[in-house]
Structure 1
Amino acid sequence: MRLIPLQRAAAWLAALALTAGLLAGCSRERIHQQESYVFGTRVEVLTWDASEDKARAAVAEVLREFDRLHRAYHAWEPSELTALNQAIAAGQQGIPVSPELAAMLTEAKAIAATGDELFDPALGQLIALWGFHTDTFVPVRPDPAKLSELVKTHPTMADLTIADGKVTSRNPAVQLDLGGYGKGYALDRAAVILKARGIANALINIGGNVLALGSKGDQPWRVGIQHPREPRPLATLPLRDGEAIGTSGDYQRYFELDGERFCHLLDPRTGQPARGTQAVTILVTPRPAGSTQAGTLSDAASKPIYLGGERWRDYAKRFGIEHALRVDAAGQIEVTSALHSRLQYGDGIKPTIVVN
């Protein structure tokens, strides 16, 4: 039995290498970097060419916002979200929620519908049953009877009605967990705060979910895509103003038991950890006002693309995503031509298939 922490050493190494690359050749007076630990992961915010005082104040506000979001919408510690889950389980109807949570649930419901409910924040009970509702989870196989019963109840975001600041669920088995949505939402909130504070050039990294503002001087921000099985980047790519990348992988939160890998990405069709894909990375370009923003979409849309297996490209197209990469269970790399043209692959790495 092997327990893997929420962030593998390999992911930390990649993040450190990324930071080193960003700082290389830069005047330390021109770049400001702050780190924290929130959402169960390492958070890093870098700004370029802003005064120390201005950058420090802006990033401090971002980190306070991250802490607020973490506490307000935590999936298993007391929060507005857990209070809503308790009310749903009790069969209450027309449950009042904050305007922010109502908007988040409305958006998450639309994303879920686009992806055939493979991205499904209603699966909180299933996530807990597999032991992932803790920061220091213990490897466990769920009781088969309980697992079968829960799969049959089929909780989905489609069970929710959100109107006039109130939530009603037709299925008491719905238990909301915004872990596959919240980091992306936080990226977009950070972008709003930084721009309001006059920060035009920044890079926000929440455990590998990354959003760029502006540039790093006359160069784009350059970020790494983690190799799912090796402690090094699979590739690097330049990020332009307003672009975001999101990755879903079986190497981020998982445990090994009896020689099998069980990751936190659960397939709602079977109730089992997903198989067939090691990792998916998508790049989302800036979105029109009023639509799901780049950070949020990069986080949430990566889940149905990951769970879609061989249909990954179809799911990417549904979300209008042209820049995507998949590493299948055998380690073969499939990448869209749009993303392929922007990547710089690591030594000895090349894609197996390039698709339109």
Structure 2
Amino acid sequence: MRGRCLGFAGVLLWVFVAACSRAPVYQQESFVFGTRVEVLIAGLPEARARAAAAAVLREFDRLHRTYHAWRPSELSALNAALAAGRVQTVSEEMAELLVDAQRLARLGDGLFDPGIGRLIELWGFHSDELPTGLPDEAALAAWRSAQPGIADLHLSGLQASSRQRQLAIDFGGYLKGVALDRATSILRAQGVGNALVNIGGNVMVLGSRNGQRWRVGIQHPRQPGPMATIELDDGEAVGTSGDYQRYFEVAGRRYAHLLDPRSGRPASGTQALTVLITARPAAGALSDAASKPLFIAGGDWPAFARRLQVAHVLRVDGDGRWQLSRAMQDRLEFVGGRPRALEVVPP
């Protein structure tokens, strides 16, 4: 898409291309990972930009098909083997993802845990359709008694196994971030120096938008439109977890897809939490994974931010009050003015 400016309302973030930008910004969209995906490339001829964006979207589709948790895939085959108590040979790529996911789970004290696939299934968040009712309490109690997690997975080279048959891997809270890192590698290899990739609100940028910093807006959890905007530098990534994207209500109570492994129930006390990850290796994966334990931790999020080395955090608690780290305060521009209920917290 060229010759006009773009303003895209993402699931969790908004992406802005300012009206004063005269140079072309090419945009290509798709639907992958159960969400809308877009690739914006600035300052290149359309043919080159189209080819680079297409290469990114092909990789996204491959990752989605390879690591789908409940449709036939390499990951579902692993889960079937774990449930049967069998040893499964995995690819080198999957082994690397599993090791990294275990590392991130340890850093987040298990609040981010890709090993809770059975719990996700019990709540009905494992399908494209939203659940309509609460899970069976006896089944939840049984899961809590077993307390399976990715730490139960044993890897010996490419051989994966576990004595815990309730273990099931779901990369839903991690794979979009991995895809962002893959996208930036592909784009750089294609000679792209200026781009923005948005996967349902998980954003990573390269360079600038024709000399101007890329700007994204952070979605308000209870109102339409953004509550704040932030400009991003080369190699930075933003990830948001919110209770307003995938949820259902029973008797007036909201049950969101962000599950607390300690209780086996949806986390409460936070409406939305955004992290900004400064340029570093695997910034995309960290932006996706880090927002989960901080969201689930509620008021204890600063301790988890320190453990994960995340300095830029914005949180909206269950009552709509804002908390943000000092570093994040320096980067945000509030929409509609500075909110009254705002607390600046050292990370």
TM-score (norm. length: structure 1)? 0.92
Distance verdict in 2 for CA 1:275–1:17, change over 3 Å: closer
User: 2:271 is paired with a residue of what secondary structure?
Assistant: strand
Could you tell me whether the CA contact under 8 Å between 2:13 and 2:216 is conserved in 1?
A: no
- Displacement, 1:170? 2.3
Matching residue within 312, 318, 327 for 1:323: 312
Could you tell me whether the CA contact under 8 Å between 1:13 and 1:231 is conserved in 2?
A: no
User: 1:210 is paired with a residue of what secondary structure?
Assistant: strand
- 2:163 corresponds to: 170
Matching residue within 142, 152, 160 for 2:135: 142
- 2:48 corresponds to: 54
Question: Is it true that 1:353 corresponds to 2:343 in the alignment?
Answer: yes
| Matches of 1:33 and 1:234, distance apart in 2 | 24
| Matches of 2:12 and 2:71, distance apart in 1 | 30
- 2:255 corresponds to: 262
Moved over 3 A (4+): 12-19
User: 1:146 is paired with a residue of what secondary structure?
Assistant: helix
Question: Is it true that 1:72 corresponds to 2:55 in the alignment?
Answer: no
Could you tell me whether the CA contact under 8 Å between 1:235 and 1:343 is conserved in 2?
A: yes
- Displacement, 1:284? 0.4
Could you tell me whether the CA contact under 8 Å between 2:67 and 2:171 is conserved in 1?
A: yes
Could you tell me whether the CA contact under 8 Å between 1:212 and 1:243 is conserved in 2?
A: yes
User: 1:177 is paired with a residue of what secondary structure?
Assistant: coil
Distance verdict in 2 for CA 1:122–1:344, change over 3 Å: same
Matches within 5 A, 1:199-218: 199-218=192-211
- Displacement, 1:232? 1.2
Matches within 5 A, 1:1-356: 13=9, 18-19=14-15, 21-27=16-22, 30-93=24-87, 95-288=88-281, 293-350=282-339, 352-356=342-346
User: 1:325 is paired with a residue of what secondary structure?
Assistant: strand
| Matches of 1:306 and 1:244, distance apart in 2 | 17
Aligned residues: 338
- Displacement, 1:348? 4.2
User: 1:18 is paired with a residue of what secondary structure?
Assistant: strand
- Displacement, 1:138? 2.9
- Displacement, 1:16? 11
- Displacement, 1:205? 0.2
- 2:5 corresponds to: none
| Matches of 2:275 and 2:19, distance apart in 1 | 26
Could you tell me whether the CA contact under 8 Å between 2:154 and 2:160 is conserved in 1?
A: yes
Could you tell me whether the CA contact under 8 Å between 1:212 and 1:240 is conserved in 2?
A: yes
Structure 1: which 5+ residue stretches go unaligned?
1-11
| Matches of 2:25 and 2:299, distance apart in 1 | 42
What letter matches 2:309 in structure 1?
G
What letter matches 1:201 in structure 2?
N
User: 1:278 is paired with a residue of what secondary structure?
Assistant: strand
TM-score (norm. length: structure 2)? 0.95
User: Percent identity of the aligned residues?
Assistant: 54
| Matches of 1:15 and 1:80, distance apart in 2 | 28
Alignment RMSD: 1.4
User: 1:330 is paired with a residue of what secondary structure?
Assistant: coil
- Displacement, 1:151? 1.2
| Matches of 2:201 and 2:183, distance apart in 1 | 15
Structure 2: which 5+ residue stretches go unaligned?
1-7
Distance verdict in 2 for CA 1:18–1:278, change over 3 Å: closer
